Amino acid sequence: MTEPVLLIDEPLSKVRRLTLNRPQKRNALNDELRGSLFDAIREADRDPDISVIIIRGGGPCFSAGYDLSAGGNNGVERSIAKVDGWWSRHVVNNWFEMWDMATPIIAQVHGYCLAGGTELATACDLVYVAEDAAIGYPPVRLMSPPDMQWQTWMMGLRHGMEALLTGDSMTGIEAAERGFANRAHPLDELDDAVLAVAERITKVPLDLLALNKRSAHRAMEAMGIRHGIRNGADIQAMGFHQPASQEYMKSFKEKGVSAALSDRDRQFGDYRETDR
């Protein structure tokens, strides 16, 4: 039998845990996995017996991003007309859907957390990372700005700008220091640390949890985060019209995705071009 792309369990009372289960593909977010994930998140959000949702990755990493080898991704999360810029707008729609849910969502990040994987983590309410995680957005090097430009909102102008101009990754320790994550833990302590936080959250009544979560997001929205990220999605669409991006996308067909990604990162000496 084929392994399910998403594993679901309840490690504690009132805690629903969702494990991305495409380890051979570094949990790349293809249509099947994205669809399964959002079906499960919506179900958990409607369940009156669930107070916390945890999202983590099975195998060596959290997620290496969207599956570029899937032969063209589709509008999985929310239906949207496929006009120019539809991709970034539709994924941003769904990350905002996670923000708007009543149930707190925790991202548990280890190993690679790249590109679309960072967007998934950002859409969660709390983020806990392994100290040696590698978190970054390499597509800014040759493809486009991010679909969901979290960098400046989560890390401020200077750290955010550096991430956007280089595409470099940061460790889990750096991610916590810069504001992307709440805390970093040794990898072998991460499971227990996340469950400890989740258990504390379950002690607060559901109705108050929903209000507390909403109040935090409303404060960020008053500062313009939702408007800013939507503007970023439109700028991302412009990236695909640039000559450098068009040449890069052509190389996917000519060389294959793996070779194109290696070519991108070789001069930087990181990501696929390391022994990691």
DSSP string, 116-148: HHHHHHHHSSEEEEETT-EEE-GGGGTT-S-SS
pLDDT at residue 276 in the model: 44
- Segment 189-212, tens digit of pLDDT: 999 999 999 999 999 999 999 999
**Residue 195 located in a structural domain:** no
- Segment 55-76, tens digit of pLDDT: 999 999 999 999 987 655 666 6
Contact of 78 with 90, CB cutoff 8 Å: yes
Contact of 244 with 142, CB cutoff 8 Å: yes
**Residue 32 located in a structural domain:** yes
Pick from 81, 121, 104: nearest CA to 207: 104
Q: Distance of alpha carbon 272 from its chain centroid, rounded?
A: 19
Using alpha carbons only, give the angle 195, 197, 199 rounded to the nearest 5 degrees: 65
**Residue 218 located in a structural domain:** yes
**Residue 243 located in a structural domain:** yes
**Residue 197 located in a structural domain:** no
Number of domains into which the chain is organized: 1
238: which 2 tokens?
């412009």
pLDDT at residue 82 in the model: 84
Distance (Å, rounded) from C-alpha 170 to C-alpha 163? 9
The set of residues, in sequence order, having a beta carbon less than 8 Å from that of 262 and lying 6+ positions away, is 272, 273
pLDDT at residue 78 in the model: 63
The set of residues, in sequence order, having a beta carbon less than 8 Å from that of 32 and lying 6+ positions away, is 5
Contact of 150 with 203, CB cutoff 8 Å: no
**Residue 199 located in a structural domain:** no
Distance (Å, rounded) from C-alpha 130 to C-alpha 175? 10
**pTM, entire model:** 0.95
pLDDT at residue 68 in the model: 83
**Residue 21 located in a structural domain:** yes
Contact of 272 with 260, CB cutoff 8 Å: no
pLDDT < 50 stretches in the chain: 276
**Residue 217 located in a structural domain:** yes
For 142, the domain range is 6-189+206-273
The set of residues, in sequence order, having a beta carbon less than 8 Å from that of 268 and lying 6+ positions away, is 141, 166, 167, 168
pLDDT at residue 75 in the model: 61
The CATH number covering residue 231 comes to 3.90.226.10
* DSSP code of residue 102: S
Q: Biggest alpha carbon distance in the chain?
A: 55
